[in-house]
Amino acid sequence: MLSIAFSELIQIFRNRLVLLTSFVIPIAPCAYFIHQHEVFADLGSLGYIAAVVMFTVGAFGLYTTTVTTLASRRQTLFLKRLRSTPASDTAILVGLMLPVTVLAIVQVAVILTVLAAVTGAPDNLPLLGAGVAFTVAMMLALGLATAGLTNSPEHAQVTTLPVSLGAIGISTWVGFTDTGELTELKRLLPGGSATELVLNAWNGGVPATESLQLLLPTLLWVVVAVLLASRMFRWEPRRG
């Protein structure tokens, strides 16, 4: 597994498209949000900035890269060759996804640290960490599911748009309007409860025990995405 992960890490730094989607696209808007934090804090809150940063990296840096990577490895028959080795299917997928996952977590941690240095520390750091961890798990699972519908790296530019833009849009909606209205709908949408959790963790004012319940909808999306991935994920290109 570690050998697969190391090989994949090398490929990431050699692939300009992956570098673009993993680093440049997520970091540029995040830097803008931090630079204009007073404006966005007035529109939403500092917690909203933290949430949208998390989902920007999660959508473009993690989710899109996951789909692009798996589609590329399938197209070149690299996935098929890996399955002929002693490594299990789980070890193969973990090895392929480990580098991009670690890079995404580091990006989120660094950007949120910069945000905290500029604006002040979050109210509940462990709760914020839980929100980030569950969001990463959800975006990874959704990436595996979407990879089953994606025929090539070029096709990934289309298949990833609904989830990428949807997750950021939901996060923005919840961040700007809170969950005072349409509470259940907002929490059940992918990313809605995670956004509310990050808002509570950064802004404070809500008991931690109440906020922890918001992890359940995100966990549900992880389960749903894994079930979809188990049915749709392909190890070889479609024939014909």
Q: 52-86: per-residue pLDDT in tens?
A: 889 999 988 899 989 988 998 899 888 889 888 88
pLDDT of residue 21: 67
Going by pLDDT thresholds of 50, 70 and 90, the confidence category of residue 105 is very high
Token pair of 240, please?
A: 């014909």
pTM of the model as a whole: 0.90
At position 73, the amino acid (one-letter code) is R
| Mean pLDDT (whole number) for 96-122 | 89
DSSP character at residue 123: S
pLDDT of residue 233: 87
Q: Which residue has the tokens 């997520």?
A: 26
Q: What does the alpha-carbon distance between residue 66 and residue 175 come to, in Å, rounded to a whole number?
A: 26
pLDDT of residue 121: 86
Q: HSE of 153 in the Cβ direction (CA atoms, 13 Å)? A: 12
pLDDT in tens, 141-171: 999 999 988 988 888 889 999 999 999 999 9
Task: Please say whether the beta carbons of 34 and 114 come within 8 A.
Answer: yes
- Residue of higher predicted confidence among 26 and 232: 232
- Residue of higher predicted confidence among 132 and 232: 132
pLDDT of residue 162: 93
pLDDT of residue 232: 85
Burial of 196 (0-12, 13-18, 19+ CB in 10 A): buried
pLDDT of residue 33: 75
pLDDT of residue 177: 85
- What residue segments make up the domains of the chain, in order of their start? 2-232
pLDDT in tens, 188-217: 999 999 999 999 999 888 888 888 888 899
Q: What does the alpha-carbon distance between residue 106 and residue 122 come to, in Å, rounded to a whole number?
A: 18
Task: Please say whether the beta carbons of 49 and 76 come within 8 A.
Answer: no
Task: Please say whether the beta carbons of 53 and 33 come within 8 A.
Answer: yes
Token pair of 30, please?
A: 């995040």
Query: For residues 97-115, b (16+ Cβ closer than 10 Å) or e, as one string?
Result: bbbbbebbbebbeebbeeb
For the cut 70, the answer to whether the pLDDT of residue 239 exceeds it is no
Q: DSSP characters for 11-57?
A: HHHH-HHHHIIIIIHHHHHHHHHHHTHHHHHHHS-HHHHHHHHHHHI
Q: What does the alpha-carbon distance between residue 191 and residue 59 come to, in Å, rounded to a whole number?
A: 11
